[in-house]
Structure 1
Amino acid sequence: MMNMTLSTLARRLALPLAGVVMLAIPGAFAEERPVVTTTTASGDEVREFCTNIADAARDQRYLLQKQELETLQKDVDERIKVLETRRAEYEDWLKRRNEFLKSAEAGLVEIYRKMKPDAAAGQLAELDPEIASAIVMKLPPRQSSTILGEMPADKAAALTRIIASATDPNTSKDPS
């Protein structure tokens, strides 16, 4: 009876023991799938294939980089054209401005030339000292001295300092 009990016991334990063993083994319930090989190439053949297409891949990369550089070059060229147009507009504006200033300056000097010295002195005393000194410098020396004589002493001295510094060869031409 003990023999039978052991065999019955063994049968009864065999199934749960098999389940425990199956749980302990990773992938025991995993479904086995066949390995699909797409090529029968060896490692050397794969390396040779990669070596053979490396030049084509490099050429393609260079082509893409070249296209990108050409696009960037077009953008730069367009910006240069815009800047050149703006530069030409600015140069034209500057030329017209300088011509206007020359004619205005000549007209302004002529106005002060025709004024009486006491009236010119009063007007120049109220102007910016640099502008006033530029006008006085362009007037004939006799008229300039008469105008400076009619001005308040401090204003005449300021204009004289500006005129003197403008004629000083040791003064820097660069205003900065």
Structure 2
Amino acid sequence: MTVHTPSCAPDSLRRRLMMIAAGCTMLAMPGAFAQEVAAPAAGIPANGDEIQQFCTNIADAARDQRYLLQKRDLEKLQGDIDTRIATLEKRRAEYEDWLKRRNDFLQQAEIGLVGIYKTMKPDAAASKLELVNPGIAAAIIMKLPPRQSSLILSEMSSEKAAVLTNVISSATDPNTSKEPS
């Protein structure tokens, strides 16, 4: 803390004001250390009432300054948060757009893929579906007409047909999650 005194003030007054300012600073410190430091230096008389009066006079200004600094810090933090929220909202919109385009593509691909297998002969479709992921193969077979699905399954090896049948039957299990993972 800086105490400004007129240059024409006597040295004793200047020293006294410096001690008062130091006393105010020390009164704000907690614990025994503050009491030790706040004790006036030898040879400089300090009046406790003067120190208390000086501290009381500057307390409101110091509190106001502290509040202004805290307000400035909070406003800066709020600006940072607003910037981050705007960035997240932008990214969320981009992701939703990408997800919509992906889902549209997958729906078109699924329709096209089912159409391809629908026009194939059962023995050719069976040999191709044996090579495909069992989940995808089961989904395709489920989308085909039952008559064609049975012909395809009868052309497959017993092991592959059993795997696909298990996948299809688990789709109707009420304990199976409805959400794709």
For the criterion TM > 0.5, the same-fold answer is yes
Partner SS state of residue 13, structure 2: coil
Compute the TM-score of the two structures, normalised by the length of structure 2.
0.74
Measured in 1, the distance between the counterparts of 2:47 and 2:147 equals 107
Say whether residues 1:78 and 2:78 are aligned partners.
no
Gapped runs of 5+ residues in structure 2? 1-10, 18-45
Equivalences, count:
142
- RMSD between aligned alpha carbons? 1.7
Gapped runs of 5+ residues in structure 1? 1-34
Measured in 2, the distance between the counterparts of 1:104 and 1:89 equals 22
Measured in 2, the distance between the counterparts of 1:172 and 1:105 equals 21
Partner SS state of residue 126, structure 1: coil
Matched AA of 2:13: T
Q: Which moved more, 1:56-65 or 1:39-48?
A: 39-48
Q: CA deviation at 1:172?
A: 3.4
Q: CA deviation at 1:142?
A: 0.6
Matched AA of 2:150: S
Q: CA deviation at 1:173?
A: 3.4
Moved over 4 A (4+): none
Say whether residues 1:54 and 2:59 are aligned partners.
yes
1:29-108 equivalence runs, <5 A:
36-38=12-14, 39=16, 42-108=47-113
Measured in 2, the distance between the counterparts of 1:101 and 1:119 equals 24
Q: CA deviation at 1:55?
A: 1.5
Q: Percent identity?
A: 68
Compute the TM-score of the two structures, normalised by the length of structure 1.
0.76
The structure whose Rg is larger is 1
Q: CA deviation at 1:174?
A: 5.7
Say whether residues 1:169 and 2:164 are aligned partners.
no
Measured in 2, the distance between the counterparts of 1:75 and 1:125 equals 55
CA offsets 1:105-144 (integer angstroms, 9 cap, x no match): 0000000000001000000000000000010010011100
Q: 1:114 to 1:129 in 2, by over 3 A?
A: same
Matched AA of 1:106: I
Residue equivalent to 1:13: none
Partner SS state of residue 177, structure 2: coil
Q: CA deviation at 1:99?
A: 0.1
Measured in 1, the distance between the counterparts of 2:108 and 2:179 equals 25
Matched AA of 2:159: D
Matched AA of 1:37: L
Q: CA deviation at 1:45?
A: 1.9
Residue equivalent to 1:147: 152
Residue equivalent to 1:129: 134
